[in-house]
Amino acid sequence: MKAVVLAAGLGTRLRAKIPKPLVKVAGREILYRSLKVLSELGIEEFVVVVGKKGELIEEFLKRHGFKYKIVRNEYPERGNGYSFYLAKDYVDGKFVLIMGDHVYEREFIEKAIKGEGLIGDRIAKFVDIEEATKVICKNGRVERVSKNLERFDYIDTGFFVLTPDIFKYAEELVKTKHEVSLSEIIERAKVPVTEVSGYFWMDVDTPEELKKANRLIVRMSVKGTGDGFISRHLNRKISLRLSEILVNRITPNQATVISFIVGILSALTTFLSVPLAGILYQISSILDGIDGEIARASMRTSKFGGWFDSVLDRYVDFLFLLCLAIVSDLSLIGWIVACLAMFGSFMVSYSTERYKGAFFSDFYKDFKFKFLGKRDERIFIAMIFCIFSWIFQLFVLLAVLTNLRVLATIYVVAKHKFGQ
């Protein structure tokens, strides 16, 4: 299947000097976001209709290795219906049509691509309804498409799955009018309507919308990450704000290294001030969320990044507890407890990470495991105890908590997976 992409608009209202599809949202060009997902879903070629500065879009498509066909619209003032009409000689059979300046969540595209005709959203909760194109539907087909409808059934998502006979209607309009909008063509063709509601998608017209899209994409990046209590209620609230700013500025691996350095500094700070070290350790824990958020939001997740981050986290945790033990002038018992705490902290990660290697699925997705002792929770507890300089007590608590957690892990895995 091919996809036609209307990308003739300029980002003037966004105060950008480049075509709007090339404006970056959460670290990636709007166009990259759709085309990457569509490629992964099996779209083989993109017919991209460009206007002014189209060579920038062509250069972009080439750089990312998309298979494309560029169609130039020399008269962008004739409207997006005319742009669409120009694609007519380059498609055969069923094809997807998308707006090059719309941002769509992956799940939306996965659903929409299986639909037929106009993909409509009944809820469209992320879109400015005033500005949106509305659709009235009759017997499952388009009846009216316009921005100015009082009452309507769907919001037009700018995503279509069409067959080439649509171009017959396009031609009729193009031959009789100078300016033709896509809405007119769709209305005339009375294409079917498929509902895909409730997912994130929006068109990006103004700097405010750009900021909104950026924020929403970053927020969505923490879906299904299996966060602990402190992560959910404290760390993410801060790290997401930072990620919103940093997503267009640094790479995920840079974020990993920054949080690692802060973590190592927190360990070394124990020699100056234990309470300060504890606070710094908690800060490093907050920063530790950023690499993953940026990676997912900017579609730059990498297997290496995930692995590297995990290995560095283990070093930070170990060094922090080791430095705490060193400054505390521990007795033999103290050292034994400290070792148990270090080992137990380690085993919490090991037992769940090793689970992925064995069962090829995520421990926290397979089990509703509410036992305290995840990294975010351990670090928060460490901060509290460090503030009061209760170091031995911290070691005792961690030694008991983490090792009990590992026993509980063995128990639930054995119960559900024994024999597999």
Binding residues for a copy of itself (CB under 8 A): 302-304, 306-308, 310-311, 314-315, 318, 322, 325-326, 330, 332, 335-336, 338-340, 342-343, 346-347, 349-351, 353-360, 406, 410, 413-414, 417-420
**Minimum distance, C-beta of residue 89 to a copy of itself, in the bound complex (Å):** 38
**Minimum distance, C-beta of residue 248 to a copy of itself, in the bound complex (Å):** 20
Q: Residue type for 398, please?
A: L
Measuring CA to CA, which residue among 264, 278, 234, 272 is closest to residue 384?
278
Q: Which residue, 147 or 354, is less far from a copy of itself as judged by CB?
A: 354
Q: How far is residue 252's CA from residue 334's CA, in Å, rounded to a whole number?
A: 38
Q: Which residue, 234 or 322, is less far from a copy of itself as judged by CB?
A: 322
Q: Which residue, 333 or 384, is less far from a copy of itself as judged by CB?
A: 333
Measuring CA to CA, which residue among 184, 132, 186, 130 is closest to residue 157?
132
170 Cβ contact partners less than 8 Å away, ≥ 6 residues apart: 81, 84, 85, 88, 180, 185
Measuring CA to CA, which residue among 61, 146, 65, 158 is closest to residue 119?
158
**Minimum distance, C-beta of residue 335 to a copy of itself, in the bound complex (Å):** 5
Q: Which residue, 19 or 292, is less far from a copy of itself as judged by CB?
A: 292
Q: Which residue, 158 or 373, is less far from a copy of itself as judged by CB?
A: 373
**Minimum distance, C-beta of residue 67 to a copy of itself, in the bound complex (Å):** 22
**Minimum distance, C-beta of residue 328 to a copy of itself, in the bound complex (Å):** 10
Q: How far is residue 417's CA from residue 420's CA, in Å, rounded to a whole number?
A: 5
Q: Which residue, 172 or 353, is less far from a copy of itself as judged by CB?
A: 353
Q: Which residue, 12 or 302, is less far from a copy of itself as judged by CB?
A: 302
Distance of CA 235 to CAs 175, 229, 231, 251, 363, Å?
A: 59, 9, 5, 20, 21
**Minimum distance, C-beta of residue 404 to a copy of itself, in the bound complex (Å):** 14
Q: Which residue, 42 or 419, is less far from a copy of itself as judged by CB?
A: 419
**Minimum distance, C-beta of residue 277 to a copy of itself, in the bound complex (Å):** 17
